[in-house]
Amino acid sequence: MDDVDTQEREHFIRIVRAFKAYRQYSLKKVTEREAYIKTLAAHHQLLLRSYQTHLEEQRTCIEHNTEIIKLILKDVDSMFENLQPQPMVEEDNPGNSMMVSDIEKVQSTIRQIVRDWSPSGAHERSQCYGPIINKIEQLFPQDTVCAEEVSILVPGAGLGRLAYELAKRGYTCQGNEFSLFMLFASNFVLNKCQGLNTLRVYPWVHAGSNLLTNGDQLRPATFPDTSPSDLHPEAQFTMAAGDFLEPRVHKFLEHLNSCTTKAWLRGKESIPPANVDVDELTLVVPSTTSGL
């Protein structure tokens, strides 16, 4: 194994450990809040009795998210065709040496599941993905072109919903993603989830702002809102890991008709501003890659 392979393997293990550290890190935060309450005077603790109950409910939500993470990590070590599966290193306390930023990315990945694959994210998807899909259908209408002959690359594909929707419409589509956090979760949703809204996560359990009530923090979200396994058997849909200009992805670029991407915006800017044309969300390139 050369230095590059070693570095990739170390990075892979680091991300797996981050997922495994989620439970310990998250429960520790709850324990710290409970410990602080116990330092208060008894009559003040009585005033916070409902909040103590809320913390207990937070624990339950974290435990449930942990079960979803276990499903995401199952067989993840063999998800890449070009890597030789190797046994993962097991640790009793994976959170002891973890970077907080890595665990926060795990929390963000859980929220991304809601955005891409939950009924709760439908409105945001319609605002973000809708204009891109509409533009693709305008540029390559299926009544005048063969959709299978239209190759579309989606860099920064995240959990793969945009790429999935384009492939579902008959286009040849490849989603490309650099983040292993996203790739682990997209592999789970796209390849292992069965049925509609059969799974549940608690995406806001770690949120400390933009909440009207404590109950909002415990609000669940079900997924997937569509069954990825229902994609037509002959659908041309793939996901590629790494930089989208790497040689293994570059082969797909040689036959590219369109390159689409998106950005998650917040608040009122979730909809493209009136002075921004949808063309800015969809980059169309010629069949050669000279324009990239």
Cis peptide bond prior to 224, omega within 30° of 0: yes
291 within some domain: no
290 within some domain: no
What's the number of domains the chain is made of? 1
The predicted pLDDT at position 268 comes to 39
Residue with tokens 């009136």: 274
210 within some domain: yes
The predicted pLDDT at position 285 comes to 36
192 within some domain: yes
53 within some domain: yes
The predicted pLDDT at position 261 comes to 64
263 within some domain: yes
Structural domain span for residue 159: 3-283
Q: Going by C-beta distance under 8 Å and a sequence separation of 6 or more, which residues neighbour residue 184?
A: 15, 19, 72, 73, 76, 79, 109
What's the chain's average pLDDT?
84
User: Is the alpha carbon torsion for 52, 67, 69, 212 positive or negative?
Assistant: negative
User: Apex CA 238: angle with CA 235 and CA 242, to 5°?
Assistant: 170
238 within some domain: yes
Q: How far is the C-alpha of 185 from the C-alpha of 77, rounded, in Å?
A: 13
The predicted pLDDT at position 219 comes to 97
3-state secondary structure of 237: strand
The predicted pLDDT at position 286 comes to 31
143 within some domain: yes
283 beta partners: 259
Instruction: Point out the residues of the chain with pLDDT beneath 70.
Output: 1, 81-98, 244-256, 258-259, 261-292
Could you report the per-residue pLDDT of 46-59, keeping only the tens digit for each? 999 999 999 999 99
What does pTM read for this prediction?
Answer: 0.83
> What amino acid is encoded at 183 in this protein?
L
> What amino acid is encoded at 184 in this protein?
F
